[in-house]
Amino acid sequence: MKKQCALVTGGSKGIGKAISKTLGVDHNLHILVNYHSDEKAAQDTLDLLHSENISAELLKFNVSDREEVSTTLEKWKTSNPDKIITVLVNNAGVAKDNLLLWMTEPEWDSVIDTSLKGMFNLTQFVLKDMVMQKFGRIINISSLSGVKGNAGQFNYSAAKGGMISATKALAQEIGKKGITVNAVAPGFIKTEMVSDEVIGTYQKFIPAGRIGEPEEVADLVSFLASEKAGYINGSVININGGLYC
């Protein structure tokens, strides 16, 4: 029987780091921690996982580069015939905030390519094996911005909103194959992407009265990755402390 693995894109920092750890602890999965450029953060995350006796390794590639994704994962599959990816968490994302009037094409392309093209590249690659084994969990990390839109985030809202629509579409395509596809939409979570200025501005509007923790998002992802969540499909689950406007 092959060892089940979870691939977490953008898995070396923030929410991705917390998800990598929680999936390893809760499900005894071999964790594939994807990262793009920050070698130190990736190594720190790998060291953390190993200190928790979690089986894990690093996979370096740019999620928006289709050839790089395919080459890296094909090489990994060939080198690991005893392992199979059963959980995919499309978490990689970047923010390049700007008002639309002044938004540059690179700011648009970078955000769209990372979230949407990255999701396309990774999901299409792992889906074939999931269909063959008639089991899989695909969890797309969207955002509150993708649910309601956010001023100054025309690109980010479009990318994260696109992830939500794609989640619902794919769930209908493969729901009979034993594979679930769901989206998680975090609000303000305590990561390096959320500045102290943003926290100070928005925290007072959050009914829960606080900013969320990455581990809280990770716990939700962990449940969606479990067999207990087999009847949850095509859903968008908000985790935002009650902030909807």
Q: Which residues are catalytic?
A: 156
Q: What angle do CA 97, 8, 116 make, to 5 degrees?
A: 45
Residue 19 contacts residue 44 (beta carbons within 8 Å): no
Please answer whether residues 111 and 145 qualify as being in contact, where contact means their C-beta atoms are separated by less than 8 angstroms: no
Whole-angstrom distance between the N-terminal and C-terminal Cα of the chain?
A: 48
Choose among 9, 22, 80: nearest CA to 226.
Answer: 22
Task: List Cα–Cα distances, 120 to 144, 163, 170, 181, 206, in angstroms.
Answer: 21, 9, 11, 13, 32
- CA–CA gap between residue 95 and residue 97 (Å, rounded): 6
Q: How far apart are CA 235 and CA 238, in angstroms?
A: 10
